[in-house]
Amino acid sequence: MKMFQKALASTQVFLFFCVVVFSTPPEDPIRCSSGNTSCTITNSYGMFPDRSICHASQVLYPTTEQELVSMVASAVRSKTKMKVATRFSHSIPKLVCPEGENGVLISTKYLNKIVKVDVEARTITVESGVTLKDVISEAAKAGLALPYAPYWWGLTIGGLMGSGAHGSTLWGKGSSVHDYVVNLRIVRPAAPQEGYAKVEILHEQHEDLNAAKLSLGVLGVISQITLKVEGIFKRSITYVAKNDSDLGEQVASFGYAHEFGDITWYPSQRRAVYRVDDRVPINASGNGLYDFIPFRPIPSLALALLRTTEDVQESAGDADGKCISAKATTTTLVTSAYGLTNNGIIFTRYPVIGFQNRLQASGTCLDSLKDAKITACAWDSRVKGEFFHQTTFSIGLSVVKDFIEDVQKLVELEPKGLCGLDLYNGILMRYVKASNAYLGKQEDALDFDITYYRSKDPMSPRLYEDIVEEIEQIGIFKYGGLPHWSKNRNLAFEGAIKKYKNAEKFLRVKEKYDSEGVFSSTWTDQMLGLKDGVTIVKDGCALEGLCICSQDSHCNPSRGYYCRAGKVYKEARVCTHLKSQ
Ligand SMILES: Cc1cc2nc3c(=O)[nH]c(=O)nc-3n(C[C@H](O)[C@H](O)[C@H](O)COP(=O)(O)OP(=O)(O)OC[C@H]3O[C@@H](n4cnc5c(N)ncnc54)[C@H](O)[C@@H]3O)c2cc1C
Ligand SMILES: *[C@@H]1O[C@H](CO)[C@@H](O)[C@H](O)[C@H]1NC(C)=O
Ligand SMILES: *[C@@H]1O[C@H](CO)[C@@H](O)[C@H](O)[C@H]1NC(C)=O
Ligand SMILES: *[C@@H]1O[C@H](CO)[C@@H](O)[C@H](O)[C@H]1NC(C)=O
């Protein structure tokens, strides 16, 4: 059995790396049955947390701000619900769904022009549908660079701002892109005498910018954004693997010591990989490139094999198999430097030194050379591949050590309990800084990104379901973690708005900009604490994170999973597998 598992693990790793160049671009998240009417929208994973499908009566594609104003005006006049959609739709929660069947989607797909690159002022002005990839490359052509950004470049500027996306730093204004916005144009509803819609121009000193730069899309449609950038610079990256015994002690000082540092934690392996990442002089030699392996095109056949293996391990309760696969995956990623190369071709040694625009983000699985499903992004819902939950929250640096130690206590009690995370590259820990955005980070914090198996069957429990559920509840409720607005399962948003000291100010701006709520839906109202019902109570709801279990039926007693207290955090209520009941 052990031999077989080892062979399987190495096959997995081999397939994982035999990446070919033919890739399929992701599917358009919007589908219409006739022309641009009678549409459905989903996210890039093809599944919302509650597995519902969202509808819209039509999708509109403005190409200029002027067209956008008239589209918003006509929807406001007829009191039609609207939502902004992007070409990617990467948000997991239902942010993009208009209410009911008759809403309208306004896509930023063709609002994709670079408006101005100002080398003197060190700013770049773009339309909101421009991708992060294009911002990075256009800035670089002018010798400029966005200092901090998400690691995946397949996001639009409007979408990543809309949900508070970030990279990792405690330096400068922090790692959230919205904190580098110096000017923004937003098309919002207006009174009939003003023509039902108007453009609001918000510069750095305007108070409303604190609402509009992280808005969940409920204030109107951002048409244009000006970001503060810097002169291009070089970085030096070295990954250092250590055991995790002193991780809790290390995290705060590590964050302040290294400008772009982050940590990938593999708790079941008791290992942490520190990314020692700093700015170096522009004449330091090196032309490194970061092409992160999990964001490369992966052969569909490999994806299917990996998924089948995980499905089998899950249904057979094969914890050892998962731990072996996990170790093999991690070892391969670490020895191949996660996709870093010294010169764009090969990795020979640390440090990897190179220009910011070649190191800050990647996503080669988006490039399409051929329209066949030979390779895809790992989570592409058209092929059998990854299907997962993502729990992501940030914990204040003042208590983060205690959180890490609680997770370590759980690993002591269940040593194999977290192997499953490592198949999705462990827990990614990134630094975020307090922001003046009303819905932004409230204090300097460490963001934990946890990805784990989701079954296609909503009633099917996971291996060590209880351990990850307990970590989710420890992070979010015991330590008051702030959930990432565009990730997470419903329960993470329970009471979340109360953690924002300026939530009232945000709601006042929302009332001022859109008093009829045409840009709001039941889901955004629930997220903002205006309506109850963030969690959904029904049989099996805790398995999908739609609720916190309060009775056994919220788990799955027929499969041996019952609602019980947590092991370390007694207030947690989790679905625990009881062997003899
Ligand atoms: C592979 C991958 C890697 C990721 N890496 C990171 C990371 O490193 N860091 C991080 O923080 N997050 C990361 N994310 C999450 C990502 O930041 C969010 O999914 C992102 O917000 C989605 O951007 P989008 O362009 O797909 O926007 P959508 O999901 O389509 O939209 C997000 C929200 O913004 C609103 N919106 C969009 N455009 C506008 C506009 N013009 N005006 C007003 N509202 C608008 C939408 O209505 C919606 O409410 C990652 C996601 C994936 C899939
Ligand atoms: C749908 O909208 C796009 C973008 O505006 C346009 O090119 C296309 O012709 C429209 N399709 C139909 C059938 O009207
Ligand atoms: C972890 O590493 C430290 C040195 O960095 C060492 O002192 C300690 O013994 C190690 N702990 C374990 C459990 O291996
Ligand atoms: C880089 O430039 C500085 C001064 O401009 C010089 O002192 C240094 O030696 C240079 N370093 C390299 C690696 O060329």
Question: Which tens digit of pLDDT belongs to each residue from 157-175?
Answer: 999 999 999 999 999 999 9
Closest ligand relative to 150 C-alpha: 1
CA 189 from centroid of its chain's CA atoms? 29
Atom number, ligand 1, closest to the C-alpha of residue 219: 43
Which of 163, 389, 513 to probe ligand 1 with, by most ligand atoms within 8 A of CB?
163
CA distances from 246 to 126, 251, 254, 408 (A): 44, 9, 12, 11
How many Å lie between the centroid of ligand 1 and the Cα of residue 157?
8
CA angle at residue 8 from 7 to 14, to 5 degrees? 90
For residue 114, the cross-strand partners are 126
Above 90 in pLDDT, residue 27? no
Which pLDDT does position 572 carry in this prediction? Answer: 98
Q: Nearest bound ligand to CA 85? A: 1
State the pLDDT at residue 343: 97
The residue whose CA has the least distance to atom 31 of ligand 1 is 159
Neighbouring C-beta atoms of residue 120, cutoff 10 Å: 5
- On average, the pLDDT of the chain sits at 94
Cα 243 to ligand 3 centroid, rounded to whole Å: 6
Supply the pLDDT for residue 22.
Answer: 52
Q: If you average pLDDT over residues 421-447, what whole number do you get?
A: 98
- Tell me which ligand sits closest to the C-alpha of residue 286: 4
Average confidence (pLDDT) over 3-25: 49
User: Of 237, 410, 214, 381, whose CA–CA distance to 307 is shortest?
Assistant: 381
Do 516 and 189 touch, CB atoms closer than 8 A? yes
Q: Which residue's CA is the closest to the ligand 4 atom numbered 2?
A: 283
> What does the pLDDT read at residue 269?
98
Ligand 2 site: residues with CB under 6 angstroms? 35-36, 61
Containing 277, the helix (H) or strand (E) segment is strand 271-280
Ligand 3 nearest atom to the CA of residue 243, by list position: 1
Percent of the chain predicted with pLDDT > 90: 92
Q: What is the mean predicted confidence (pLDDT) over 372-377?
A: 80
Residue 28 pLDDT = 85
Report CA(31)–ligand 2 centroid distance (Å).
Answer: 12
The rounded radius of gyration (Å) of the Cα atoms in the chain is: 23
User: How many other C-beta atoms are found inside a 10 Å radius of the C-beta of residue 528?
Assistant: 20
Confidence of residue 379 (pLDDT cuts 50, 70, 90): very high
pLDDT of residue 367 exceeding 90, the answer is no
Relative to the CA of 109, which ligand 2 atom is closest? Answer: 4
Question: Of the bound ligands, which one is closest to the alpha carbon of residue 28?
Answer: 1
Of all protein residues, the one whose alpha carbon is nearest to atom 24 of ligand 1 is 159
Q: Report the share of the chain in percent with pLDDT over 70.
A: 94
pLDDT (mean) for 289-296: 97
Which tokens belong to 308? Answer: 């089948």
Q: Which of 242, 243, 408 for mutating ligand 3's site (highest number of atoms within 8 Å of CB)?
A: 243
Is the beta carbon of 245 within 6 A of some atom in ligand 3?
A: yes
Ligand closest to CA 236: 4
In this structure, which residue's CA is closest to atom 10 in ligand 4? 283
Confidence of residue 2 (pLDDT cuts 50, 70, 90): very low
pLDDT at 11 over 50: no
Ligand 3 centroid to residue 473 C-alpha, Å: 29
Mean pLDDT of 129-141: 98
Region 463-476: mean pLDDT is: 98
Start-to-end C-alpha separation, the chain? 29
Q: Looking at ligand 4, which atom is closest to the CA of residue 284?
A: 13
Distance CA 61, CA 136 (A): 24
Q: Lowest-pLDDT range, 10-14, 135-139, 174-178, 418-422?
A: 10-14
Enumerate residues lining ligand 1, CB below 6 A: 44, 83-86, 88-91, 95-96, 108, 128, 150-152, 155-156, 158-160, 162-163, 165-166, 216-217, 221-222, 486
